[in-house]
Chains A and B, each alone.
Chain A
Amino acid sequence: MTVESPANPRDLTDSPEQTAQLEHTWHSPGGFIGWFTHVNQRMIGKRFIITAFIFFLLAGILGVLMRLQLAGPEQQLFGPELYNQFFTMHGTVMMFFFAIPVMEGFAIYFVPLMIGTRDMAFPRLNAFGYYVYLIGGIVLIGSLLLNMAPNAGWFNYVPLASKEYTPGYGVDVWTTMITFIEVSALTAAVELIVTTLRMRAPGMSLNRMPLFVWAALVMSFMIVFAMPAVIVSSTLLILDRLVDTQFFIVESGGEPLLWQHLFWYFGHPEVYIILVPALGMISTIIITFTGRPIYGYTALVLSVVAIGFVSFGLWVHHMFTTGLPQLGMSFFTAASATIAIPSGVQIFCWIASLWGARIRFATPMLWVLGFFAIFVIGGLTGVMVASIPFDTQVHDTFFLVAHFHYVLIGGAVFPLIGATYYWWPKITGRMMSEAAGKWSFWLAFIGFNVTFFPMHQLGLEGMPRRIYTYVEEMGWSELNLLATVGALVLATGFGITLVNAIWSLFRGQRAEPNPWGAPTLEWAADSPPASYNFRHIPVVKSRWPLWDWERDRERGVVTGLRNDRREVVLTSILDARPIGVQVLPEPTIWPFVSAVAASLGFVGIIFHPIFFVIAFFLVFFSLVAWFWPRRPWRKD
């Protein structure tokens, strides 16, 4: 393996045969069975993204149905039982089955491309994580269709979620599927951390890493530290429900608040796990559409890292009304307000970067500008609810519903849709329609504000969350009707993007490798990328390699990697000096088989504990097959 700097990589001695051989090596098998053997990062990333958007659609439909019910007082479209399932599923699916997986999906797809490598560190683990996620999601949606969906809220507080108050399978499904999805998130996180730290292109030292990669790295570390808390809490709950342990049962000395501490110790970082990658997307889009380096790279990175740290010190602000001691809770007021500083630093770094730039107002940039307007309001209401006395008035009201939709839709979904428009040509090789993109943005932006802004007032006027109806005398009818109208406009806006995406697959204009003139490495690959991502692993000299290449008319590449097996370059953690070559595994069915075996256990224990034992052995044998030693030297 050597590092070279030819004037043009095409001058390298690549015979068509060699390229064909490389293509063959990295090829993902076709056919129905073949589909389940894919391990390539782009295949898995794409599946994560598509599956997550399908869940977004389903949970969004539930949201619209809830808005229809609340459009007027004492409406009876749905009874309380069904409505309670709806809001439980809306929250659960949005948080666990859409927001985290879609961010992971984009990270899995784009981190290897942005750091200039050919796959992720553990491709088979990646595939396992996806199947676990897919099966978990199907079971959860299936439970809604069978009318046995969970109905104890996405936060699933005990004792309401205990067997005594919520019998039936709903909460069991919730609990096991949450554990399941966390396993999937952890595999992706470990994967992303190792890939980012050890597989960056030579020369891409940590301080040259694209900001989205930084964001994905911080997100992954947060997942590693946050998810175990919810795995522990949901495991304690499922034990309470299935084998009558008494962790949360007051009569036996159990403690309901234990659940809340564990859940929010995960639940608050969760919000930032969703937000942080979106911040990376914003930086990425701003750099490309201003066409110049971003101001405050270091400040932006440190802000994201700071948000990651501080987010673990905020969980009690979800519990200000539980009667914990005032002085102790005050700490969480201060910590929550502290988040305003790294958020403010980022906002103003972006403003400084946009200042006087000649901005191209393409669709991705519009979604980012929409982010600013919405996220600032969401952030400010976030500071408000950090106050204990104020929070006691608005906690669990529609004010909170407004607040976190401003943060999550404005802060995460808007940048996410922008990033989808931005990266769509790279993923599919086609451009989405700009005109439809702008219609979609304006409808979503207007619809969003009409839906959620009135909810601030509804909350202050005393309307609690999670109510399936309200009596007419409360005077909440007009604003609720307004919010429902807004929800329909918002749904139309998102719907246009969906239609646009499908349309573009067939009719979209073909995309160049770098249609936006972006500076990061993913745009050096073909659109869509070849199976091996890069014909030659690039060498990087600054934060903006593609702009360097354009200016210098030369680019460095790594040569000497073998074409007949899946080789990637390993580099050092800080400076990305090349230190070795790793051979990655080939497609295999075993991650899928393991995921099915594990699912059998997770779903089965809802009905009988014996499934745990059966699945244990099935998973054991599938893992043996999965890890059966490869002998790559035999091919030599």
Chain B
Amino acid sequence: MSLKKVYRKTGWLGAVVLLLTACEGSQSALDPAGSAAELIARLWWPTLFVATLVTLLVLTLLAVAVFRAHKKHAELPLSVRQSRNLVIAGGIILPLAATIPFALSSFSIGRTIHAPLPDDALTVEVIGKQWWWEVHYLDEAGDRIATTANEIHIPVDEPIRFLLSSDNVIHSFWVPNLQGKTDMIPGRTNLTSMTADEPGVYRGQCAEYCGTQHALMAFLLVAEAPEAFDDWLAHQRQPAREPATDAQARGREVFLEAECADCHTIRGTPADGEDGPDLTHIASRQTLAGATVPNRIGHLGGWITDPQHIKPGNKMPPSELSPEELQTLLGYLESLE
């Protein structure tokens, strides 16, 4: 049996080709849209190139070594001096030549990424929950001025400071298109920053195993023009709009009388529960349940009646509402833009 197949790295080369071609996505480190992710991707591509060269070099040498005397009558070994030189060149010089520039560029990129932010940078506080994200916008004094969940808006071309923490287990905050991940650890407040270079909707996902529904703990990061962002933030600072119709008013009654208000806050109403996401402007968000399903009325209804179906194990209990109550409640929530 021929050993030549050993070196035909099955599945390997093909996958490299895939790697080079398919790298677009809203949650991809290979499709950077922010300065930090851009720097890291710029470290990645040359590293991949060098690593591929080293792999090919080592495997070629191995192939030569193995097949040199194959089917010959005598051995064709290296002399002791040649062997020594090979080991020094391949085992010491090659690793040093490859890793020293790599480590130095890594340090340099790390310095750039962690450069101090201007004092007046917009500050967003994100708190990891099981299994969703609580988001607060802070003013320059550090006071919370707006609260939302699972959807973060930022202005483009502006460095944003993120204060990351958790009051339960460890989570990790990660928007691959913009920046590497930073853990949210109880008892600590970690700091990271992002600058989005282009407007867009990027997906982030929890990257530290945090229990049952770690898999479906995601969020959207919306980078938009500064004016649009200012409008959005001004709107989010407002309390919830008053019901415009009787049906919506009845929906609000349902919300307040059912157990919803025990866990959820709707600013401007008596509902001030803190266990679940703030719903003051829920209708303005694109997704539900931690970026698991689109925010449409069908999904919202399904989520309220049977949340364990969409996201098994999550902490929202099913609601026992009559169909009519559900309709009015949905009508009210849909109005909370």
Which A residues contact B (CB, under 8 angstroms)?
A: 79-81, 84, 152-153, 157, 159-160, 165-166, 250, 255-257, 292, 295-296, 299, 321-323, 326, 330, 333-334, 337-338, 340-341, 343-349, 351-359, 361, 366, 369-370, 372-373, 376-377, 380-381, 383-384, 386-397, 438, 442, 445-446, 449-450, 453-454, 456-457, 460-462, 464-471, 474-475, 479, 486
Contacts and interface: CB of A to CB of B under 8 A. Distances in A.
A355 B83 contact: yes
B23 interface: yes
Interface string B59-93: 10110111011101011111010110011011110
A442 B5 contact: yes
Query: Which residue, A344, A345, A366, A386, has most C-beta atoms of chain B within 10 A?
Result: A344
B209 to A, nearest CB: 4
Interface string B241-274: 0000000000000000000000000000000000
B69 A357 contact: yes
B205 A389 contact: no
B233 interface: no
B141 interface: no
A462 B205 contact: yes
Interface of B: 1, 3, 5-7, 9-12, 15, 18-19, 22-23, 25, 27-30, 36-37, 39-40, 43-44, 47, 51, 54-55, 58-59, 61-62, 64-66, 68-70, 72, 74-78, 80, 82-83, 86-87, 89-92, 94-96, 98-99, 102-103, 106-107, 109-111, 113-114, 130, 168-170, 172, 174, 176, 179-183, 185-188, 190-191, 203, 205-216, 292, 312-313
In order of increasing CB-CB distance, the 9 nearest A-B pairs are: A392-B180, A356-B76, A345-B91, A462-B27, A467-B215, A387-B106, A323-B190, A348-B90, A250-B187
Contacts of B191: 323
Given A344-B92, A348-B86, A396-B181, A468 B215 contact: yes
B180 A449 contact: no
Given A333-B103, A376-B55, A344 B95 contact: yes
Contacts, number: 305
A457 B215 CA distance: 18
Contacts of A84: 211-212, 214
B213 A344 contact: no
Contact of A255 (B7, B96, B187): B187
A472 to B, nearest CB: 12
Nearest to A162: B169
B147 to A, nearest CB: 23
A396 B10 contact: no
Contact of A461 (B25, B36, B92): B25
Nearest to B188: A323
B292 A471 contact: yes
Contact of A352 (B58, B83, B130, B176): B83
Given A381-B51, A462-B28, A356 B91 contact: no
8 contacts: A79-B313, A80-B212, A160-B211, A323-B188, A323-B190, A389-B110, A393-B44, A456-B15
B72 A461 contact: no
A460 B180 contact: no
A446 B207 CA distance: 30
Contact of B106 (A255, A349, A390): A390
